[in-house]
RNA sequence: UGGGGUGUCGCCAAGCGGUAAGGCAACGGACUCUGACUCCGUCAUCCCGAGGUUCGAAUCCUCGCACCCCAGCCA
């Protein structure tokens, strides 16, 4: 088990921190309040983690607080289950909103009152145009829009109509409430945006109290205002909404938080849009939202990523405003850093090849002491059994070794980690010429700690005693897509799904101590990579391991170069 | 061809008029009973381009170029 909760590195500067520094120094604010505002309509992914770490991190570093607020203004697509999973994910990531859990839907009554205020001020009107007509009136990027014929209704009529909308007198889509701004604005968001739509649908949090629901633009800024948010941090696509965000607050005459936008995360070798992620799940390309190949937090967790490694990642990639693509290798390197420092080591043979030690007594069992972590003696050690027949990795044997190969080969000596130096004497093949067994002799003096233990051999390989081994399923995961930008450039992104993103090894052999590995225990299988127990499919005595990441391997890279 | 943004090393990213931080990757080398880890070293005379201001510019001005976002009763 390993989770580093100690990421105390100095956060690098970014424009938002600079702004906050200035605000605190100038006295504009004495403390800050941020918020993470997900819509409960799907599962959180690594892109959300960037926002979570940013918002909660800002609050933590500047001694403020961060709210968790569900932006639940559209009952048509939201569900309670999503909200629950979001809470769980945020907690798992290591953040705590304390008492500050909010729902935009809890502000519906206030929002409604404010809408009436805007109507009375002549800043909003009920429009009878259909959705299609509104679109047609909106104009284009280069042409101004046209005003709705209902735009100049008297205040009393607007009030009456809006109240009747709220009372449920009209069917879905019959009318909307619009802000009366400017149909000729070069910023399309200001061309009389819709504030309320009629939706006869129960709300997962507000129940059946409403049949009209506010739009994001009308709800978000005011929610921020109600909560006293000082710095409302969102992604770049909301930049052009900022004038609208401010317009409502100014017209309402209420506290004005400030909105700042940063670039959302793009990661190579995966896709991040909810639509595509959903499609992968629905089409069965992956086993679910928590499939270890998915960039969802649930998926990463099941893959074996630690919360700390994801926080490190978010710190490492920085925060800016330029569209950026982070290489998947950065994320992978972050788990390796964490797991290298914290994961206990174990020996596991993924693709077994039997090795018979001819001069080792048939029934004997010897025990060796293996360090749980070579660099951290305080993590202790364990005893591992050794006998005449062991399994070694198929890759660790070559009948005709290539240049530079220093593992096992005919006539060649190699060390069995923590045990003896052995020398290959014979290769046994089946009828088709496949190597099915390797035979060797061992040198008793080379036992770890023995008189000839210091003898230099070219390589050290891992092994597992055949008689004591635990057989387990091991799932080798790799990147979901085989190209860096699956959703760029003409071709359907699905055609780039990496067919080798999952390889199931039904009968890997593990050292006996791993039989009862449980929970989300994480290990480094020496010379292989980092593996975690699959919390869902494992049973006591029959663990299933997921590969989180491989170890860096300069040998195979050299070979494929 | 409207509006809003962004352009600093392969990928991120500091820098805010005083002469290019850092991380990741890469490449050398040391160490090693994990070809892992760790350690040492190398890696932008140059900041999208062209002019200009200045003793001095990535940082200021001008004109270009490229890319991203906006025409949901989604968020």
Three-state secondary structure of A24-90: HHHCCCCCCEEEECCCCCCCCEHHHHHHHHHHHHHHHHCCCEEEEEECCCCCCCCCHHHHHHHHHHH
Kindly report, residue by residue over A300-333, the tens digit of the pLDDT.
999 999 999 999 999 999 999 999 999 999 999 9
Residue indicated by tokens 């990463």: A300
- Distance between CA atoms of residues A199 and A165, nearest Å: 10
Which chain B positions come under 7 Å from a protein C-beta? Answer: 1-8, 10-16, 21-26, 33-38, 67-75
Kindly report, residue by residue over A432-462, the tens digit of the pLDDT.
999 999 999 999 999 988 899 889 999 999 9
The integer distance in angstroms from the CA atom of A324 to the C1' atom of B11 is 9
The integer distance in angstroms from the CA atom of A323 to the C1' atom of B47 is 18
Residue A309 confidence (pLDDT) = 98
Rounded to an integer, the average pLDDT of A331-345 is 97
For A518, list phi and psi in degrees, rounded to 5: -140, 180
The integer distance in angstroms from the CA atom of A454 to the C1' atom of B31 is 16
**Given a cut of 90, is residue A550 above it in pLDDT?**
yes
Short-list A31, A38, A141, CA closest to A85: A38
Which nucleotide has the least CA–C1' distance to A419?
A: B33
**Given a cut of 50, is residue A477 above it in pLDDT?**
yes
Kindly report, residue by residue over A14-66, the tens digit of the pLDDT.
999 999 999 999 999 999 999 999 999 999 999 999 999 999 999 999 999 99
**Given a cut of 70, is residue A6 above it in pLDDT?**
no
Rounded to an integer, the average pLDDT of A398-413 is 95
Which nucleotide has the least CA–C1' distance to A329?
A: B24
Answer whether A461's CB lies under 8 Å from A417's CB. Answer: yes
Strands (E) across A341-485 are located at 344-346, 348-349, 352-357, 366-371, 381-386, 389-393, 413-416, 421-429, 435-443, 460-461, 463-465, 470-477
Residue A448 confidence (pLDDT) = 86
Residue indicated by tokens 């005693």: A465
| Burial of A234 per CB tally in 10 Å (0-12, 13-18, 19+) | buried
Question: Would you place residue A5 in the very low, low, confident or very high pLDDT band (cuts 50, 70, 90)?
Answer: very low
Which nucleotide has the least CA–C1' distance to A337?
A: B37
**Given a cut of 60, is residue A127 above it in pLDDT?**
yes
**Given a cut of 70, is residue A129 above it in pLDDT?**
yes
Residue A202 confidence (pLDDT) = 98
Residue indicated by tokens 């490492």: A316
- Distance between CA atoms of residues A298 and A305, nearest Å: 10
Counts for chain A of helices (H) and strands (E), in that order? 13, 25
For CA atoms A322, A327, A332, A338, the dihedral sign is negative
Residue A9 confidence (pLDDT) = 53
The integer distance in angstroms from the CA atom of A501 to the C1' atom of B71 is 40
A366-375, A420-429, A487-496: segment of lowest average pLDDT: A487-496
Residue indicated by tokens 């635990």: A470
Could you list the active site residues of A?
39, 264, 274
- Distance between CA atoms of residues A83 and A486, nearest Å: 29
**Given a cut of 60, is residue A4 above it in pLDDT?**
no
Which nucleotide has the least CA–C1' distance to A73?
A: B75
Kindly report, residue by residue over A490-543, the tens digit of the pLDDT.
789 999 999 999 999 999 999 999 998 988 999 999 999 999 999 999 998 899
**Given a cut of 60, is residue A178 above it in pLDDT?**
yes
The integer distance in angstroms from the CA atom of A14 to the C1' atom of B19 is 23
| Tokens describing residue A55 | 């918002």
Residue A10 confidence (pLDDT) = 65
Residue A7 confidence (pLDDT) = 43
DSSP helix/strand/coil, A383: strand
Answer whether A269's CB lies under 8 Å from A479's CB. Answer: yes
Average pLDDT of every residue of chain A: 95
R_g of chain A computed on alpha carbons: 31
Quote the percentage of chain A above a pLDDT of 70. Answer: 98
Residue A8 confidence (pLDDT) = 45
Between helix A46-61 and helix A15-26 the angle, nearest 10°, is 20
For A135, list phi and psi in degrees, rounded to 5: -65, -45
Residue A3 confidence (pLDDT) = 35
Q: For residue A213, give the H/E element and its range.
A: strand A212-214
Answer whether A55's CB lies under 8 Å from A233's CB. Answer: yes
What ipTM is given for this predicted complex?
A: 0.96
Rounded to an integer, the average pLDDT of A110-118 is 98
Residue A519 confidence (pLDDT) = 86
């Amino acid at each position: 088990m390993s989770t580093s909760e100690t990421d105390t590195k100095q956060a690098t500067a970014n424009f938002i921190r600079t702004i906050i520094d200035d605000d605190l120094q100038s006295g504009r604010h004495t403390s800050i309040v941020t918020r993470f505002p997900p819509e409960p309509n799907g599962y959180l992914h690594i892109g959300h983690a960037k926002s979570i770490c940013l918002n909660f991190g800002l609050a933590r570093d500047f001694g403020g607080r961060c709210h968790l607020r569900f932006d639940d203004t559209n009952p048509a697509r939201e569900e309670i289950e999503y909200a629950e999973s979001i809470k769980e994910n945020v907690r798992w990531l290591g953040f705590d909103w304390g008492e500050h859990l909010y729902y935009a839907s809890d502000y519906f009554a206030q929002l409604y009152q404010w809408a009436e205020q805007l109507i009375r001020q002549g800043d909003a009107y009920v429009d009878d145009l259909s959705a299609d007509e509104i679109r047609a009136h909106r104009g284009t990027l280069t042409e101004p829009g046209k005003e709705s014929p209902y735009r100049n209704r008297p205040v009393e009529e607007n009030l009456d109509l809006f109240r009747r909308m709220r009372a449920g007198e009209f069917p879905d889509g019959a009318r909307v409430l619009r802000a009366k701004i400017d149909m000729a604005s070069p910023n399309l968001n200001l061309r009389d945006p819709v504030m309320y739509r009629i939706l006869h649908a129960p709300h997962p949090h507000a129940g059946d109290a409403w049949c009209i629901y506010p739009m994001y633009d009308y709800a978000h800024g005011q929610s921020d205002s109600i909560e006293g948010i000082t710095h409302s941090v969102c992604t770049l696509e909301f930049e052009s909404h900022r004038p609208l965000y401010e317009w409502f607050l100014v017209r309402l005459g209420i506290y004005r938080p400030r909105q700042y936008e940063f670039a959302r995360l793009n990661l190579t070798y995966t896709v991040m849009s909810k639509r595509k992620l959903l499609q992968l799940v629905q089409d069965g390309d992956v086993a679910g939202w928590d499939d270890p190949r998915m960039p969802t937090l649930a998926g990463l967790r099941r893959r074996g990523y630690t919360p700390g490694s994801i926080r490190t990642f978010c710190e490492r990639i920085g925060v800016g405003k330029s569209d950026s693509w982070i290489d998947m290798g950065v994320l992978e390197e972050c788990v390796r850093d964490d797991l290298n420092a914290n994961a206990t080591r174990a020996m596991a043979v993924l693709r077994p090849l039997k090795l018979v030690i001819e001069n080792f007594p048939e029934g004997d069992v010897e025990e060796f002491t293996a360090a749980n972590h070579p660099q951290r003696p305080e993590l202790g050690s364990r005893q591992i059994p050794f006998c005449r027949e062991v399994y070694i990795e198929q890759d660790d044997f070559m009948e005709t070794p290539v240049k530079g190969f220093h593992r096992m080969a005919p006539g060649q000596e190699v060390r069995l980690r923590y045990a003896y130096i052995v020398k290959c004497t014979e290769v046994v093949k089946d009828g088709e010429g496949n190597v099915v067994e390797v035979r060797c002799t061992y040198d008793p003096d080379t036992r770890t700690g023995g008189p000839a233990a210091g003898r230099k051999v070219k390589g050290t390989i891992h092994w597992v005693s055949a008689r004591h081994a635990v057989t387990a399923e091991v799932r080798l995961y790799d990147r979901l897509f085989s190209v860096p930008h699956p959703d760029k450039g003409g071709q359907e992104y699905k055609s780039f799904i990496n067919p080798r993103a999952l390889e199931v090894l039904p009968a890997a052999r593990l050292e006996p101590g791993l039989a009862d590995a449980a929970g989300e225990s994480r290990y480094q299988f020496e010379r292989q990579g980092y593996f975690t127990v699959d919390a869902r499919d494992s049973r006591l005595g029959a663990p299933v391991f997921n590969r989180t990441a491989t170890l860096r391997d300069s040998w195979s890279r050299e070979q494929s170069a």
